[in-house]
Amino acid sequence: MKSISIKIKYLIFLVIFIAMSYLSLIAVYHIASDKSSFLSLGIFSKELFVQIAILLPIYFIADTLRFYYTLKAINVNVPFKFIISLAFINIFVSNITPAATGGGFAQIYFLNKARVPIGAATAGSSIRTALPLIFFMVLAPIILIFDRNIERLFPNRNVLVYMGVVLVLAAFGIIFIYKLIKKPESIILTIQKLISFFNRKESANNRTSKKLDKLAVEIKGFSEHLQMYLHGNRKYVFLSIGFTLLFLFTLFLFPVLLIRDLNPSASAIEIFLHKS
């Protein structure tokens, strides 16, 4: 009986996901065209549906495998079937939360339910998220430097300002990650000071101390698993990077196919940059 109710829940979530995906197609249509018809699949060509039907499984498999091999690289062994479920959860939750922020937290929650420590689960999810960000941070300045036509996409055409902001944010991110990997104690100490500053009640000291101890353990575990990825099994590391690149390629191919189907004269490069 319990398994039936779970299947019904999954079916409801699947229907919601398909409905939201369909409405997204309509939103693209209204942005790219002045026509007023609504909920009409006739606005798209048959070739587009064939292309998407081919692309969707590749996208989902790439998303699943990039996380699977990331976890393998940090010695977190979970069944592949479970990772398939996590990939679906990530796609669903990301599409119903602001800025697609909820998917990673949902994956951490379910990994922890599967007896993976929070530190290890957070490390795996963070690495999975960080790999595309690193790709963009490396690629964005190169595109801005060598393609001067991109300037018109930015307000006031202050490309150097945007490059400076990207580089500063990247520098802060690198410093934070370095401290987290090499000196996790400094991060723990900073958190302890902040909590002590905001929580000065004597009655909460014991409870706060226990929470801080648990937090310290998870932060150290997070740091250890990040180091494990950097110095671990190269095969799994390269596979995680390779499937991340395949995932990004398929991800950015979706809007290119949709918009170019409605407007064949649209530039694929400009669509890619707007999406990123």
- The answer to whether residues 184 and 219 touch, using CB atoms and an 8 Å cutoff, is yes
Number of domains composing the chain: 2
Q: Specify the pLDDT at position 153.
A: 58
Instruction: Indicate whether 80 and 92 sit together in one domain.
Output: yes
Q: Specify the pLDDT at position 80.
A: 92
Instruction: Indicate whether 126 and 17 sit together in one domain.
Output: no
Instruction: Indicate whether 161 and 28 sit together in one domain.
Output: no
Residues 168/172/174/175 CA torsion (nearest 10 deg): 130
Q: Specify the pLDDT at position 243.
A: 96
Tens of each residue's pLDDT in the chain, 276 residues:
666 776 787 778 778 877 877 777 677 666 655 555 555 667 778 888 899 999 999 999 999 999 999 999 999 999 999 999 899 888 888 877 776 778 888 899 999 999 999 889 999 998 998 888 888 777 766 666 666 566 565 555 566 676 677 778 777 777 777 777 777 777 777 777 777 666 665 445 666 677 777 777 778 888 888 888 888 789 999 999 999 999 999 988 888 888 887 777 776 666 665 555
Instruction: Indicate whether 68 and 115 sit together in one domain.
Output: yes
Instruction: Indicate whether 166 and 188 sit together in one domain.
Output: yes
Instruction: Indicate whether 239 and 128 sit together in one domain.
Output: yes
Instruction: Indicate whether 112 and 24 sit together in one domain.
Output: no
Instruction: Indicate whether 204 and 103 sit together in one domain.
Output: yes
Instruction: Indicate whether 236 and 262 sit together in one domain.
Output: yes
Instruction: Indicate whether 184 and 268 sit together in one domain.
Output: yes
- 244, burial (CB in 10 Å: exposed 0-12, middle 13-18, buried 19+): buried
Segments forming the whole domain that contains residue 266: 47-275
Question: CB count, 10 Å around CB of 24?
Answer: 14
Q: Which helix (H) or strand (E) holds 82?
A: helix 80-94
Instruction: Indicate whether 31 and 90 sit together in one domain.
Output: no
